[in-house]
Amino acid sequence: MSPMELQHINVKLFLKNVEEVDLEALIPVFHRWIQDQTSGELLLDVADYRHVHAGPGVVLIGHHGDYSVDNSGGRLGVRYNRKGPLEGTNQDRLLQATKAALIACRRLEDEPLLKGTLRFNGRELEVWINDRLLAPNSEETRRTIHPEFQTFFSNLFGGGEFDLAYQHDSRNLLLVRATTFQPFDASALLDNLHSLAPVGGPR
């Protein structure tokens, strides 16, 4: 595996029927998550950025990580942002962030206040490494960590075919978009990862 350590991983699951998603309805939902504290992480506050064009949307702020329904890049998705460092291997950290995003997405899909409007599109997700010192967005970095992503997404997609595309602009964070040729729902992807146990964070 790569000798490069990946920390501060962000995962975004793209949504379908985005015109039906009511971001305002997320605010009481996220406040209830704070009251319930059922995510396995300490959740602290809700920030409303709906006024920002192609911005972070509505954010549930946590101690070690944030959850949001995010519109960055002009594409709506459920995003998990791991802020704190995590022990273990790169595979452990990719697993933790992706499971956190998938669990949040599944909860939002089942949320009565959202009336079934929020749905994972089943095919695309993005992973950022939000640490330019550990993982600068360079050809050398992409070449070094590519096997890590190949291994992880092969597990996530149950050995099915997928494509990986990288953001090559060095001014931006290191980003890879995974597109699977066979659609999955959030529950199926969680089932594929069930046998892989992350070191820490939400299960």
**What pLDDT digit, counting tens, does each position of 111-162 carry?**
999 999 999 999 999 999 999 999 999 999 999 999 999 999 999 999 999 9
Mean pLDDT of the chain: 92
Mapping DSSP onto H, E and C, the string for 133-180 reads CCCCCCHHHHHHHHHHHHHHHHHHCCCCCEEEEECCCCCCCEEEEEEE
Other CB atoms closer than 10 Å to residue 86's CB: what's the count? 20
Q: In which band, very low, low, confident or very high, does the pLDDT at 170 lie, cut at 50, 70 and 90? A: very high
| 1 within a domain of the structure (yes/no) | no
24: containing domain: 9-193
Q: Is residue 202 part of a domain?
A: no
Q: Which residue type is seen at 150?
A: Q
Domain count, the chain: 1
What confidence category does residue 197 fall into, taking pLDDT thresholds of 50, 70 and 90?
Answer: low
- Please check the confidence at residue 29 and state whether its pLDDT lies above 90: yes
Residue 198 lies in a domain: no
Q: For residue 68, tell me if it sits in a domain.
A: yes
167 falls within a domain? yes
Closest CA relative to residue 75, chosen from 129, 17, 25: 17
Percentage of the chain exceeding pLDDT 70: 95
**4 lies in some domain:** no
Confirm whether 97 is domain-assigned: yes
Give this prediction's pTM.
0.93
pLDDT higher than 50, residue 200: no
User: In sequence order, what are the beta bridge partners of 119?
Assistant: 16
Helix axes 90-109, 186-193, angle to 10 degrees: 150
Is residue 2 in some structural domain?
no
